[in-house]
Homo-oligomer: A and B are copies of this chain.
């Protein structure tokens, strides 16, 4: 028997991602989000949701581009700060000492110190309610060589991404490897 919890923005896991944009004067900004994910395999696309009142919202509308910067655990504090402060009042890169790098492919900056970066061109924006859902086509992915593993792909145990638990409002690391996808279930199929 399940207990009804009512209507909440409650799901897990949700990611701790940092969105990079430029404002009208070319100042790099970063904002933390947890409402986002991959949304299409071809063209390879991601979605992020932002409130209209955020500084980043206007930046994305104007520049039609953003980056997704995936922090490793050791940058949880900085990523949390990026979700507290607003780019309209401060330079978050300067505040944290992190380094903005101009993407050579899209009109947005990325965070040099974060291990995994997605450079995206905005292709859709849909107003859902308090939040606008932006879809971005992935133009390139950049990664620190130190986090690459088999086949030159990022090893999640080296990237060490962070999860956000909504409502409870805590951050979590990733844990043990549970198995291979599109493989574990075959045992059931063969029965």
Which A residues have a C-beta under 8 Å from some C-beta of B? Answer: 1-15, 17, 34-47, 49, 51, 68, 70, 73, 76-85, 95-96, 112, 116-118, 123-124, 126, 128-131, 133, 135, 138-145, 148-156, 159, 161-189, 191
Contact = CB atoms under 8 A, between A and B. Distances in A.
A4 B142 contact: yes
B141 A39 contact: no
Given A73-B178, A83-B182, 6 more contacts: A3-B142, A5-B153, A37-B47, A45-B129, A149-B168, A172-B174
Given A78-B188, A80-B184, A171-B181, A39 B44 contact: no
B156 A182 contact: no
Contact of A135 (B15, B128, B163): B128
A73 B40 CA distance: 25
Given A70-B12, A129-B40, A174 B177 contact: no
Nearest to A118: B11
Contact of A168 (B38, B143, B156): B156
